[in-house]
Amino acid sequence: MTIKQVRVYSPGSIANLGPGFDVFGVALEGIGDIIVLEESPEPGVKIDVQGVGADKIPSDPEKNSSGAILNHVIEKYEPRHGFNVEIRKGIPPGTGMGSSGASAAATTVAVNEMLGLHLSDRELVKLAALGEGAVAGAPHADNVAASLLGGFILVGEDWDVIRLDAPRFGIVVVVPDIYIENKTKKARELLPQKIPLKDAVKNIMHASRMALAISQKDGKMFGSNINDRLVEPYRAAMIPNFWDVKQAALDAGAYGCSISGGGPSLFAVGDNIYDIGDAMQKAFGDIESTCYHTRPSNRGTRVI
């Protein structure tokens, strides 16, 4: 027996977290998307997008992360019905808070539930990453894995991920009011194919310490190692006032600050996240911005 309607919530996430490009992700508390998936007597996929930034999300299933997943499921599992999807956005798209990843994660869990597919975590990550890839240009699992499983994520080979419970620490995400079309694709194209060995060594050092900090439940050690030489210097050019905003966060007491996912928002880790967020917003100068005060969420995507 199939289920006619499933509602699923999926949290937003921060990917990379400084030195962990395409490997680290953390799910966020209090910000997420809802997907309502329904059986349809019509074949194919019909998408309706509502909520924050809905006008920026294509409802064409070929160009939408949920649509890409459902088209793939139709081809592979041949259900006797089509799908209507309502995407209720709580995460602003194109900002670096894992918006397309959360919608992809929610759709994956919803269709798994509706069709009784019994997919493993690894298969869920793979299917959700396929949806993410449809909008980002290349499948990557850091956002979708964090949204799916919650907590702190270390992406491995072939969609294998390690998930750790994250300790409680403050996170502020400041989103400048600028919109970059096809942002993740562009942000990935900015990255060099070759990197200096000394930069790779620094990233390995900081990333290792961040993973250790999670297992030792040490938010200060985690934040103090947010240092990235591989991605941040190249992507900073996409973000107006980036270096001033980062410095303002550190001056206000942040343990660390970097680009949130593919940007253009910045995240900072610290105790006094309200002061840090205010200082970052001021440093954006004339550019309007929105502040999200949050913390890691150890709960991932769930049926509601």
Q: Does position 300 bind ligand HSE by CB under 6 A?
A: no
Nearer to ligand HSE among residue 187 and residue 279 (C-beta): 187
Active site residue 184: yes
Q: What is the DSSP string of 82-107?
A: EEEEEEEE-SPTTSSS-HHHHHHHHH
Nearer to ligand HSE among residue 143 and residue 241 (C-beta): 143
Q: Does position 140 bind ligand HSE by CB under 6 A?
A: yes
Find the binding residues for ligand HSE in span 166-185 (CB under 6 A).
Answer: 184
**CA–CA dist 75, 106 (Å, integer):** 19
Q: Does position 142 bind ligand HSE by CB under 6 A?
A: yes
Q: Does position 210 bind ligand HSE by CB under 6 A?
A: no
**CA–CA dist 164, 292 (Å, integer):** 23
**CA–CA dist 301, 283 (Å, integer):** 34
Measured CA distances, 62 to 58, 83, 109, 132, 135 (Å): 9, 14, 19, 12, 9
Q: Taking Cα atoms as reference points, which of 184, 189, 187, 229 lies closest to residue 205?
A: 229
Q: What is the CA radius of gyration of the chain?
A: 19
Nearer to ligand HSE among residue 22 and residue 218 (C-beta): 22
Q: Does position 15 bind ligand HSE by CB under 6 A?
A: yes
Task: Give the one residue of 261, 264, 270, 296 binding ligand HSE; rule: CB under 6 A.
Answer: 261
C-beta of 253: minimal distance to ligand HSE in Å?
A: 26
* Catalytic residue selected from 107, 184, 294, 301: 184
Binding segment for ligand HSE (CB under 6 A), chosen from 58-66, 67-75, 136-144, 267-275, is 136-144
Active site residue 107: no
Tokens of 37: 């998936």
Beta bridge partners of 6: 37
Strand 266-270 relative to strand 289-294: parallel, antiparallel, unpaired? unpaired
104-113 burial string, b = 16+ CB within 10 Å, else e? bbbbbbbbbb
- How many residues make contact with ligand HSE (CB under 6 A)? 13
Binding segment for ligand HSE (CB under 6 A), chosen from 6-14, 36-44, 135-143, 280-288, is 135-143
* Catalytic residue selected from 38, 113, 132, 232: 132
**CA–CA dist 84, 277 (Å, integer):** 39
Q: Does position 186 bind ligand HSE by CB under 6 A?
A: no
Instruction: Determine whether 185 is exposed, middle or buried from the number of CB atoms within 10 Å of its CB (0-12, 13-18, 19+).
Output: middle
Q: Does position 89 bind ligand HSE by CB under 6 A?
A: no
**CA–CA dist 292, 257 (Å, integer):** 14
Task: Give the one residue of 19, 176, 262, 270 binding ligand HSE; rule: CB under 6 A.
Answer: 262
C-beta of 244: minimal distance to ligand HSE in Å?
A: 22
Match 């953390």 to its residue by tokens. 26
Q: Does position 147 bind ligand HSE by CB under 6 A?
A: no
Residues 6+ apart with CB under 8 A from 216: none
Task: Give the one residue of 74, 127, 187, 254 binding ligand HSE; rule: CB under 6 A.
Answer: 187
C-beta of 246: minimal distance to ligand HSE in Å?
A: 17
C-beta of 57: minimal distance to ligand HSE in Å?
A: 15
Write out the residues near ligand HSE by the rule CB under 6 A.
Answer: 15-16, 21-22, 136, 140, 142-143, 184, 187-188, 261-262
- Which are the catalytic amino acids? 132, 184
